[in-house]
Amino acid sequence: MVSSIDGAAQGPDARSGTLSTPTDQRVFALLRALADVVLVGAGTARAESYGPAEPDTVYATLRERDGRPPAAPMAVVSRRLELHPSSPLFTRALDVTGAAQRTIVLTVESAPPERRSALAEVADVIVAGEKDVDPSAALSQLAERGLRRVLCEGGPSLLAEVARAGRLDELCYTVTPMLAGGYATRILDGAPIHDSRWQLAHLLEDDGALLTRWLHSPVMRQSERTDAMS
């Protein structure tokens, strides 16, 4: 995730890419190369004009040595399935990675049946909840497919839901030397997140940008702290 100095997760054009730097882009590419699957919300996929993850010449070779496809498949979270089957997110995934690596759509039981049927022609549609996509259920479904290392690229609402479910293990977060002002959202949106402590694992600086990596450190309840000390 990336933000400005004043915490905006979007630039003036309402896209996060405006805030990114060349070094941040290198980290972004590396994280995708390490991932088994890239998780993204439908709103972010539309706003950022998402396509499939493209194979990188160097990283694709390393992935193939590990017995993995050249690029990680995309997994899109959507309740209403307002996704067009002709979108490059689906059509280019078929061209680049083949049918075995089709884009995955994580949705709900209440999603419009006709949209589910249309998307099932070009994607692997998985139900992970009744009215809302359950982050834990979605991640479990991905794990059953062998996709255990999940890179969540947001947006802020999806990332917050994953964090609230206690399923966010680490956070790679870049602060770029820019001021955004306005009313842009932060990297997490929605209801407060309780009992969430993080430890700084890495901190790098490049041309004014701070690139950080944080590890989740669950907070013990008071009773657990008392028991541990007795």
pLDDT digits (tens, 9 = 90+) for 100-116: 589 999 999 999 999 99
Q: Which of 85, 105, 110 is nearest to 40 (CA)?
A: 105
Per the CB < 8 A criterion, the answer to whether 69 and 48 are in contact is: no
148 is written with which tokens?
Answer: 């255990």
Q: What is the pTM of this model?
A: 0.90
**CA–CA distance, 20 with 9 (Å, rounded to integer):** 10
Q: What is the CATH number of the domain that holds 184?
A: 3.40.430.10
**CA–CA distance, 19 with 190 (Å, rounded to integer):** 22
Please tell me the total count of domains within the chain.
Answer: 1
**Full residue range of the structural domain in which residue 41 is found:** 2-229
pLDDT digits (tens, 9 = 90+) for 78-94: 999 999 999 999 999 87
Q: Tell me the CA distances in angstroms from 204 to 2, 23, 106, 197, 215, one per residue in order.
A: 14, 10, 34, 21, 15
Per the CB < 8 A criterion, the answer to whether 44 and 83 are in contact is: no
Q: Per residue of the chain (230 residues), what is the pLDDT tens digit?
A: 999 999 999 998 888 999 999 999 999 999 999 999 999 999 999 999 999 998 888 888 889 888 899 999 999 999 999 999 999 999 998 766 554 589 999 999 999 999 999 999 999 999 999 999 999 999 999 999 999 999 999 999 999 999 999 999 999 999 999 999 988 899 999 999 887 789 999 999 999 999 999 999 865 444 443 334 42
User: Taking the CB of residue 201, how many other CB atoms lie within 10 A of it?
Assistant: 12
